[in-house]
Structure 1
């Protein structure tokens, strides 16, 4: 119990100090408002009695004046009672503006950076990384690996060993504390972020689909800013590559079928195949698969895995998996343990 209380003392120190300060300010302002209210009553009747005695006004006029003064004082007191809320609003506004003014080290809106074509040769050299929320937990501890263009790399290992973190670093959701990730011999941080991510396709364990049509979900993030139209042929070709065209064609509205929030109107296997089609429609040079089949039944897994194998033939693939069916066709298999790759075959 003592250890538990000691662990809470430091995190709660600042909130407790702020709470005491707010309570003190609120108490002081409440006392001032009450004092002003009562003082106005006393001063008003004292001066009023002198005015009535000296004949400057009569009693009804005195009461009219005093009532006006007292109501004004009450409003002033109520306003002063909100001083603590004004203080809280100032603190909240300061935090909001600090967040808005903060410049991210990974900014997708920046137009600078390398935009050369990517073929798919991938490497990681001496990666060390800790999440900002847990700086004392070393997720990667000098991990290094290399994958040639067109090869499939399978990452295997226990949960929490750093597999998904490796995918996150490849997508540049984070930057490593130490080490480099060269793609085609160019450090990943030198690429324009939008250009980099456009050449990466990501299929996660639980893909997020939008409450739009299947066509819109597959075409999402297609770059047609140069005026190139997004045609049905492009979308259908991606759906066929993902083994999704057959089931989409059987739906009543076909590619115009609205999938519902997060794709709730589709089965797990159908959602995955739509997500794969969305990843493939851009013809990515590197395909990232984060346990893409682990939540599926045997039948759906077989269909989705066929889709992934077909897609992997056209690009470099990094796959996280716990099942033999996912890694049996991989060119390189790396075991991840304690933030490093101790075995690579």
Structure 2
């Protein structure tokens, strides 16, 4: 069995039944304990800036309710002073000047407050993204073989990006609007408690309605993010070089367009539902708050008829304060809805952050010892993939062997026998189910993973090169490597002459996954990259099986040179490439059924002898037309 089943997009094409099951499982946000307190913890490193922000918000909110009170004084003392006298211009100028100064101060404070909130919000968002990316880097290989790459990308981009606005605006909006609402309410009470009762009598009903709307929006937000994940996965699968090549090869461009269109229609529907959810609620709230001034005029008339002293300035000031109550109150209700919606996104982010890597360093893990460096031993190793059904047979069934330092060991056998799994267990990309894998006489579970990987180089059948220059791809193994070191590694890998024949030489951009290079060229660049690392143990996972005869010969010479002086573990499909191995292990159905040199295994007339004879006969059959 291959390592968990690769495939396009990191998880292969998923059936419609799998997609339906995934969507059903994610119809609502995952339940995360203490979610609000964990969100609050994200802001802990920015306590100082938050305190300053809150102080600025409090000052700004306090200032915002003073001008309406000065408006009352402007009417009652400046424009219409007691006794029916002419307007008191000096008093009016003083009041108007004070209001202008307050508005200027409020504007300046608002700029500073916006800068601080934007800085804190975006810093928290950036750290959250890095934290999630770092955590995903620590996940075991199996996580990525069973999860679509596009889904992972969506968590990093769409989910974290979706909470950006909330992180940036929540503190200032909640604190500022709350203070403004409270201050406006107090000012209204000071002006007229009777009119205040009329103005706020229905507010509790609005708060209850807002909570119901928020719950609906949170559920829609979760479904929207799942749809975005699926769209990202489709894009990643179909617009990669491999995806485009596959679609064109089978003339399936229209099918891929149809798949994207279907999910896009779902996304449009969800976006409309999310934007429309609560719109009637806010429309009713807006109408209610807009009608209040007219109602206040009627209440004021009623009070005057009942000999309650209400001046014109009081009515103007009250309606002004009530109008200033409208926008903060609407803002608070919207923020409350946004918070309920963002909780669904935070829950999806924390769901990934709460994943525990199955492979992690032990607390007392130690570095690889140099004393027995290169020695590899399997001791009664049993391995079953973690996501395999409980009643399924193990991939490896109690295999034991030892490879001496500097020895060239090959693993051969039928497809699905478990050969590649052996190569994954040495660098601890998977953990054994039972038994032990020993590296330099230490159980790999007791070693620091970074140190273990540092001593191992891997060349796989599916070479991965970044969309960068050849030099940058080589330096991935050794960032500080000099040009001379690059050239030496490339010469050892039989690729230097090819590189310098390109117009840009080592600065040639290889394209996504190295598609501008041939298969043999990519493999030799990968070998040069491993040689630059200079590992003690070299793992070759069917490194030539996908190449033509000429390319295989060039790559094989590079591999032979790379294997000199180091322990080499070769997973081979073509037996002709390992006839010179010091020891050959024949794997069948998860067990080692034969071991020995090429000559010894041929004399045994067993599984290896039959496989070799079959490949020899297949190679001797001439192609049609020869």
Q: For the superposition of Structure 1 and Structure 2, which TM-score range results when normalised by the shorter chain?
A: 0.7 to 0.9
Three-state SS of the structure 2 residue aligned to 1:82 is helix
> Which residue is equivalent to 1:141?
397
State the alpha-carbon separation in 1 of the partners of residues 369 and 535 from structure 2. 14
State the alpha-carbon separation in 1 of the partners of residues 20 and 472 from structure 2. 51
* TM-score, length of structure 1 as denominator length: 0.77
1:272 aligns with 2:272: no
> Which residue is equivalent to 1:250?
501
Give the Å deviation of 1:321: 2.0
Give the Å deviation of 1:272: 0.7
- Map 1:128-277 to 2 at 5 A: 128-134=382-388, 136=390, 137=392, 138-222=394-478, 230-277=481-528
* TM-score, length of structure 2 as denominator length: 0.45
Give the Å deviation of 1:301: 0.9
Give the number of the structure with larger relative contact order, counting CA–CA contacts within 8 Å between residues 6 or more apart: 1
State the alpha-carbon separation in 2 of the partners of residues 208 and 327 from structure 1. 24
Gaps of 5+ in 1: 225-229
State the alpha-carbon separation in 2 of the partners of residues 302 and 322 from structure 1. 15
State the alpha-carbon separation in 1 of the partners of residues 507 and 334 from structure 2. 58
> Which residue is equivalent to 2:216?
26
State which drifts further: 308-317 or 246-255: 246-255
Q: Is the 8 A contact 1:305 1:326 kept in 2?
A: yes
Q: Is the 8 A contact 1:217 1:278 kept in 2?
A: yes
Larger Rg: 2
User: Does the C-alpha gap of structure 1 residues 74 and 340 become closer, same or farther in structure 2, counting only changes over 3 Å?
Assistant: same
Give the Å deviation of 1:267: 1.5
State which drifts further: 168-177 or 251-260: 251-260
Give the Å deviation of 1:66: 6.2
CA-atom RMSD, angstroms?
4.1
Query: What is the aligned residue count?
Result: 333
Structure 1 residue aligned with 2:581, among 323, 330, 337? 330
State the alpha-carbon separation in 2 of the partners of residues 322 and 265 from structure 1. 26
Structure 1 residue aligned with 2:541, among 261, 277, 290? 290
State the alpha-carbon separation in 2 of the partners of residues 220 and 38 from structure 1. 62
Q: Is the 8 A contact 1:202 1:288 kept in 2?
A: yes
Q: Is the 8 A contact 1:280 1:311 kept in 2?
A: yes
> Which residue is equivalent to 1:227?
none
- Map 1:73-88 to 2 at 5 A: 73-88=329-344
1:116 aligns with 2:367: no
Q: Is the 8 A contact 2:456 2:537 kept in 1?
A: yes
Structure ranking higher in strand proportion: 1
Gaps of 5+ in 2: 1-14, 31-211, 219-276, 305-309, 597-626
Three-state SS of the structure 1 residue aligned to 2:423 is helix
